[in-house]
Structure 1
Amino acid sequence: MSILIQEQHPQRLLLRISIAMFIAYLAIGLPLGILPLYVHQQLGLSDVLVGIAIGAQFITTLLTRSTAGRLADNHGARRTALSGMACCAASGVATLAAALMPSDSVYLAFSLLIIGRILLGVGESLLLTGNLTWGMGLAGEGLAGKVMSWNGMATYGAMAVGAPLGLALYRSQGMATTAGLMLLLPLIALLVDRGVPAVEAHAGKRQPLSTIWVRIWRPGLGLMLQGIGFSVLSVFITLYFNQFGWSYAGFALTAFGAAFIAVRLMLGNLPDKFGGIKVAQYSLLVECAGLLLICLAVNPLMALAGAALTGCGCSLIFPSLGVEVVRRVPPEARGTALGGYSAFQDLAYGVTGPLAGILSSFAGYRSVFFLAAGCAFVGMLLVKIGLQRGKNQSNYATCHQRHKKTAK
C-alpha cells in the first residue's frame, strides 16, 4: 500500500480527497441558510425549534466523534470517510421526504427533518475525522498543518458556496430541489475518492479518549469558544438580515468563507512561523471584532464586513491548535485525538443554537452576536493563559525526563 501511495504524489492525493470533501460538505452547507426560513416561515415554528433543527446535527456529531476516531484508528480512515459520505446521502433522502410532506403535516415534516439532521451529524463526524486521519496517512505527519488547512478550506469553502446556492434554489425551486441536491452531492464525492488508496492503521495499543483527554482539553476549549461565533453566524444571520429588511443575507456566509479561505492561502504559514498559541490568540481577537461589527451594523454592507472579519479570525484557529493536539499524542491514537478535539467545536455548534434561540426570543438577534463576541474574547484570554501554561508544563516535563536519562 505504501508503494501505491509513493507512485502517486502524496499532495495530489491530498488535493483529491480535499476536493471530494468540498463536494460532500456542500450537502452540509446548502441547508444552513435555508433551514431557519423553512422551519420559521414555511412550517411556522418558533426560533427555539429553529435552533433545535440546526443544533440536532451538531449534537449528533459531538456524540459520535469518539466513535468516528476509533473507527478511523481501528478499521481504517478511508472506510470511515466514505461511510460518512453515505450517511450524508441518507440525510438528503430524509430531508427530501420532509419537503414532500403535505402542508398540514407540519410536525411530521419537522420530525423527518430532524432525522435528516441526525444522519447528517453522523455523516459529518465520520467524514471529517476520517478525512483528516486519511490525509495525514497519505501526506505524512510532517504535513499535518497542511492537511488541516486544506480540509478547513474545503469545509468552510463548501459552506460559503452552499449557503447562497441553497437560498437561490430554495427561493426559485423550493425545498425539495435543494434536498435532492443534498442527496446527489455525497454520491459524486464518493466517485471522486474512488481509487485513492487506503492507509494502514498504526500498530500499538489503542487508547480511549479518556486517557488522552488531559492532552487535548486545553486546545479543545479554545476551539469551542471560537466555534460559538460561527454557530451564531450560520444560524441567525439570515433572520438578522430579514429583521431589518436587508438584502444579500445569503452572502454573509460567502463573505465569511471567502475571507476564511483567503487567510488560509495567504497566511497559512503563520502558526509554523510564530507558534500556534500566539496565532490562535490574535485570531480569536479578530473574530471578536468581526462579531461586534455585525452586532453594531446599521446596514447590510457593515454586517457583511463583520462576517468577513469573523472569517479572518476563525481561519487559522483549527490548524493552530490542532497541530498542538497531533504533537501530544502517539500516531495510533491520532484519529481518537482528532475526534475528541473536533468534538469541542461540535459542542459549541450543538449547544449554541438552542440557547441563542432562547436568548434571541427575549433580547433580539443583536444580543446573540454580542454574546458570541464575548465568548471569542474569553477564548483569547484562556488560550493565552491556560494553553501557554500547559505548553510550559509539557516542556518542563520533557526537559526533566531528558535530564533523568542523561543522569543515568
Structure 2
Amino acid sequence: MRKVSALLLASERRAISGLAGLYASRMLGLFMVLPVLALYADTLTGSTPLLIGVALGVYGLTQAILQIPFGLWSDRIGRKPVIAFGLVLFALGSMVAASADSIGAMIAGRALQGSGAVAAAIMALLADQTREQVRTAAMATIGLSIGVAFALAMVIGPWLAAWAGLAGVFWFTVLLTLLGLLVLWQWVPPAPRRQRHRDVSMDRRQLKSVMARPDLWRLDTSIFALHFVLMAIFVAVPYRLLEAGISAAHHGLAYLAIMGLSFVAMLPLMIVAEKRQRIARLCVLAIGAIAVSLAGLGLPVSEGYWLFVWLFIFFTGFNLLEATLPSLLSKLAPAGAKGTAMGVYSTSQFLGAFLGGTLGGVLASYGGLDAVFLGCALLATLWWAAMLKMPSPPPLTSEVVALDDTEADTMDVLLERLANVAGVEDVLVVPEERLAYLKVNRQQLDQTALAKLVTPLKP
C-alpha cells in the first residue's frame, strides 16, 4: 500500500472547483423555480393547482428514472460526453419551459430538464480526477455547493421572476447551462482514467444487501419525506406570503431573512450534536420541528409574524436534515458500498420531490392551502414516529487506501491484517481496483498498527 500527500494538485483544484460550480449552477436552475412557479403559472393555459404541483415535481421523476442509466453510460463511453449530453437536455428543457404558454408545455419542459440526469456522472468524473486521499473533501465540496445553490435560488428566483417573468427564470437557466458546458470542456481537465468507484458509483451486485438494511432504509425514507414536504408546501407558501402583505417582488428578501437566520440557528446545533455523538437525536428533533411548523402553517396561528416563525422553524429543520442525512449515510454504509447506498438515497429523494409536488397539487385543488400544510404535517408526524427509535451511529468514517501491485494470493492476508487492526470495523479489498475500502472508528483506531501495513506485503 502507499500513502500520498493530501495536498491538492493543480488538476484536482481545477476539477473540484469546475465540477462543484457546474453541479451548483444546475441545481440553482432547478431550485429557482420553486418559490415562483405557483405564483406565475396561473397565466398558463389549463393551469390548475394539481398541474402546477406536477410541474414543480416532475423533474424528480425523470431524474429518478435516468440517473443510474446515465451513470452506467458514463462508465462505458466517457464522463464528459455524457455530462455534456445531459446539460444539453437540461438546456432544451429550460427553453421549452421558457417558451411555454400552457401548463402542459411547462410540465414537458420540466420533465426534459430532469432527463439531463448527470449527477452520478459528475460525481464519477470528480472521483476520476482526484486521489483517494482527497476524495472525501472533494465530495464534501459538492455537497456544500448544493446547499449554497438552494439558498441562492430562494433569493434569486423571486427577484428574477419579478424583473423578467417566469420565462426569464428559465432563460437565465439556459445561460447558466451554456456557461457550464464551457467550464466542462475548457476548465475541467481531461480525466486520466475512467473506472467504477465504489464510494461514488452504483454497483448492482451490492444493491440487494444495501436495500435490505433497516438503518439505511430509515435514511432513504427520511430524504424521501423531506423533499416530499418541501415540494408540496411550495404549492402554497408563495400565496401565504402574499396574504401576509409581501408582494411577489419582495419574496426574495423574505426568503433571504428566513434562510439566513435558519443557517445561523442550525450551525451550533450541528456542532454540539456531532461533538456529543447525538446526530440521530438531532435528526428526530428536526423532524419533530418540521411537523410542528407544518401544522402551525395550516392553522389560523400562521397569520401575521407567526408565518415567519413557522417558516424559520421549518427551514432550520430542513437545513439540519439536508446536512446531516448524507453524513449519517456515510457512517452507516458498508465499506465499499457508499456509492450504491447513495444511489438508492438519491433515487428516494427525487421520487419524494415528484410525489410531493403532485400530492401538494391534489391537496390544494380539493382542500385549499391549509390542506397542503396539514397533510404534510400528518406525513411528517408519521415520519417522526418511524424515526424515534433510530440508534445513534458509531463514530465511523470511510477510508480508501490505494494498493500497490500486490499479488492476488496475498489479498486475503492483507484483508485479515487490516480487519485485525483495532478500530477498523469493516474492510473490503478490491483487487481489480487496487483499492481497500475501510470503515474506521477514529476514537479506537490503532494508528501505529495501521501504519505498519503501509509497506507491500510479501507472499
Scaled to the shorter chain, the TM-score interval is 0.7 to 0.9
**Which residue of 169, 177, 182 maps to 1:178?**
169
Change in 2 beyond 3 A, CA 1:302/1:224: same
Name which structure has the greater RCO, CA cutoff 8 Å, separation 6+. 1
Q: Which residue of 1 aligns with 2:287?
A: 284
Q: Equivalent residue of 2:188, what SS?
A: coil
| The 10-residue stretch of structure 1 (311-320 or 194-203) with the greater mean CA deviation from structure 2 | 194-203
Q: Which residue of 1 aligns with 2:375?
A: 371
Choose between structure 1 and 2: higher helix proportion. Answer: 1
2:181 aligns with one of 190, 194, 198: 190
Root-mean-square deviation (Å) = 3.8
Partner of 1:406: none
Q: What are the Cα deviations for residues 252-280 of structure 1, in whole angstroms up to 9, with x where unaligned? A: 54455435654676555566432542332
Q: Which runs of 5+ in 2 are unaligned?
A: 395-418, 426-459
Alignment of 1:20-99 (within 5 A): 20-43=22-45, 45-71=47-73, 81-98=83-100
Q: d(CA) in 2 for partners of 1:260 and 1:83?
A: 37
| Deviation of the 1:87 alpha carbon | 2.9
The aligned counterpart of 1:394 is: none
**Offset of 1:290 from its aligned partner?**
3.2
**8 Å Cα contact 1:69/1:335 also seen in 2:** no
Moved more, 171-180 or 218-227: 171-180
Is 1:113 paired with 2:117?
no
1:364 aligned counterpart, secondary structure = helix
- Cα distance in 2, alignment partners of residues 316 and 11 from structure 1: 28
- How far is the alpha carbon of 1:313 from its aligned partner? 0.9
Query: What are the residue-to-residue correspondences of 1:277-356 with 2, within 5 Å?
Result: 277-296=280-299, 297-299=301-303, 301-326=305-330, 327-331=332-336, 334-356=338-360
| Separation of aligned partners in 1, 2:323 and 2:90 | 24
Do the aligned partners of 1:226 and 1:375 also contact (CA within 8 Å) in 2? no
2:159 maps to a residue whose letter is A
1:236 corresponds to 2:236 = yes
In the other structure, the counterpart of 1:213 is 211
CA pair 243-264 structure 1, distance change in 2 beyond 3 A = closer
Question: CA 1:249 to 1:69, structure 2 compared with 1: closer, same or farther past 3 Å?
Answer: same
* Residues in 2 aligned to 1:244 and 1:95: alpha-carbon distance in whole angstroms: 29
1:118-148, CA deviations, whole angstroms, 9 ceiling, x for partnerless residues? 122123x423x3444555663758874x666
In terms of mean alpha carbon deviation, does 267-276 or 285-294 score higher? 267-276
The structure whose residues are more often strand, as a share, is 2
- Contact 1:20 1:192 (C-alpha < 8 Å) held by counterparts: yes
> Which residue number corresponds to residue 395 of structure 1?
none
5 Å-filtered alignment, 1:114-153, equals 114-123=107-116, 125-127=117-119, 129-135=120-126, 138=130, 140=132, 144=136, 150-153=141-144
Residue 170 (structure 1) shift: 2.7
**Separation in 1 of the partners of 2:141 and 2:382?**
28
1:290-344 superposed Cα distances (whole Å, 9 cap, x missing partner): 333433454454323322322211223244332443452454x544432210111
The counterpart of 2:157, out of the listed 166, 175, 190, is 166
What is aligned with 2:413?
A: none
Tell me, yes or no, if the aligned pair for 1:255 and 1:305 is still in contact at 8 Å. Answer: no
1:265, 1:148 → 2: CA distance? 20
Cα 1:175/1:323, change in 2 over 3 Å: closer
Aligned residue identity for 1:345: Q
User: Whole-Å Cα distance in 1 between the matches of residues 161 and 258 of structure 2?
Assistant: 21
Question: Does structure 2 conserve the Cα–Cα contact (< 8 Å) formed by 1:133 and 1:334?
Answer: no
The separation in 2 between residues aligned to 1:119 and 1:162, in whole angstroms, is 20
Aligned-partner Cα distance in 2 for 1:14–1:8: 10
SS of alignment partner, residue 97 of structure 2: helix
Give the Cα separation in 2 of the matches to 1:75 and 1:334. 23
Contact preservation (8 Å) 1:14, 1:135: yes
In the TM superposition, residue 24 of structure 1 has moved relative to its aligned partner by 2.4
Amino acid at match of 1:126: V
* C-alpha separation in 2, matches of 1:195 and 1:390: 36
Structure 2 residue matching 1:371: 3-state secondary structure: helix
* Deviation at residue 46 of structure 1 after TM alignment: 1.1
Partner Cα separation in structure 2 for residue 383 and residue 260 of structure 1: 23
Distance of aligned partners of 1:94 and 1:180 in 2 relative to their CA distance in 1, 3 Å threshold: same
The offset of 1:47, in angstroms, is 0.6
SS at match of 1:381: helix
Q: CA deviation at 1:220?
A: 0.2
The CA distance in 2 between the partners of 1:250 and 1:378, in whole Å, is 32
TM-score (norm 1): 0.77
Letter in 2 for 1:282: L
Structure showing greater Rg: 2
Does the 8 Å CA contact 1:277/1:384 hold for their aligned counterparts? no
The CA distance in 1 between the partners of 2:230 and 2:131, in whole Å, is 29
Question: CA contact under 8 A between 1:271 and 1:279: conserved in structure 2?
Answer: yes
Structure 1 residues 120 and 252: alpha-carbon distance in aligned structure 2, compared to 1, 3 A threshold: farther
User: Identity percentage over the alignment?
Assistant: 20
Matched residues, number: 380
**Structure 1: gaps spanning 5 or more residues:** 102-108, 392-397, 403-408
Q: Distance in 2 between matches of 1:375 and 1:139?
A: 42
